[in-house]
Amino acid sequence: MKTAMSDLNSLILEQLQWFIGGGALLILILLVMVLTQGAKLRKMRRKYDLMMAGSGVDNLETLLIDLKVQMDSIEDEQEQQRKTLETVLNKLQQTKGKVGIKRYNAFSGQGSDLSFSIAIVDEKKNGVVISALYSRDSSYVYAKPLAAGESSYALSPEEVEAINLASQ
């Protein structure tokens, strides 16, 4: 056993310069890697400090949380505005804002184009048509409700033309 141990010791002593050289080379490689990583870390730290300058927060996590809270608030506000806009558009389509007017002589031979039919409708042609018939002796005013451009009362050609003018 003693000879085996002394043989092992002599083998290690013969190769000792290689073990030390390999260890030194490994330490040198590791030292270069540590210095390289340190330089990269300093560069990244300078970029981080530059990015965080003027933000009013100490770390990136706080900044990201603040940005997330702000983004959620903006999304909530945007959803509320979308709903409001949708409501306004629906009401706008129901607004009776389209007007068509047709002037004519209701009683030929008497007077001039003092009679008229006026249609006030929305996008779906819902609304009203008002006709005023004028003669020297009397005047008449008629109002007829409209649903999809039609009325439950008979429409004169002038009233139909006023509805068509309003729909354009």
Retrieve residue 16's tokens: 């000792």
pLDDT tens column, 76-109: 999 999 999 999 988 877 776 778 888 877 777 6
In this predicted structure, what is the pLDDT of residue 55? 67
Confidence category of residue 23, pLDDT binned at 50, 70, 90: very high
In this predicted structure, what is the pLDDT of residue 24? 95
Retrieve residue 3's tokens: 């000879």
Across the chain, what does the average pLDDT equal? Answer: 84
Summarize the confidence of residues 130-141 as an average pLDDT.
82
In this predicted structure, what is the pLDDT of residue 102? 83
Summarize the confidence of residues 120-141 as an average pLDDT.
83
Greater confidence (89 vs 34) lies with 34
Residue with tokens 């996008």: 123
* Angstrom distance (rounded) from CA 93 to CA 74: 28
The arrangement of strands across the sheet holding 115-121 comes to 98-104, 115-121, 127-134, 139-146
pLDDT tens column, 44-54: 988 888 877 77
Q: Cα–Cα–Cα angle for 17, 20, 23, nearest 5°?
A: 145
Q: Which helix (H) or strand (E) holds 50?
A: helix 2-52
Summarize the confidence of residues 67-74 as an average pLDDT.
92
Q: Is the pLDDT of residue 63 over 90?
A: no
Q: Where are the domains of the chain?
A: 2-90, 98-167
Q: How much is the pTM?
A: 0.48
